[in-house]
Amino acid sequence: MRSTINTLFIALIALSFSGCQTSSGVMTKGDDIYSIARRDTGAFGSLSRVKKKTYNEAANFCKEKNTDLKIINEDLVPRSLGQFPEAEIKFTCIKK
């Protein structure tokens, strides 16, 4: 019984350290403008990590189209009491 409780405790600690990020994926806004929104609901989620993953997702989307990423707008929400860090970017892909 004690080993089961210890195992459960260790699993809970491991889960609290692993971030749980959700992404909207690339959404079309029209006129070759796209957006991606991402949130980290993990216990130790950081805005910088959310922003980096959001930018990487956008850059990979443009790379698949053999174009370069151009950011139009970014909206960043830092972690605060009751608020998880969020990043939303609007972007376009421009010819190389």
Q: Residue 90: exposed, middle, or buried by beta-carbon count in 10 A (0-12, 13-18, 19+)?
A: middle
Q: Residue 34: exposed, middle, or buried by beta-carbon count in 10 A (0-12, 13-18, 19+)?
A: buried
Statement: residue 9 has pLDDT above 70: no
Dihedral, 37, 41, 47, 52 alpha carbons, nearest 10: -60
C-alpha span between 23 and 6 (Å, rounded) = 33
Tens of pLDDT, residues 36-63: 999 998 878 899 999 999 999 999 999 9
Q: Fold for domain 2-95?
A: Gyrase A; domain 2 (3.30.1360)
3-class secondary structure, 40: strand
Statement: residue 19 has pLDDT above 60: no
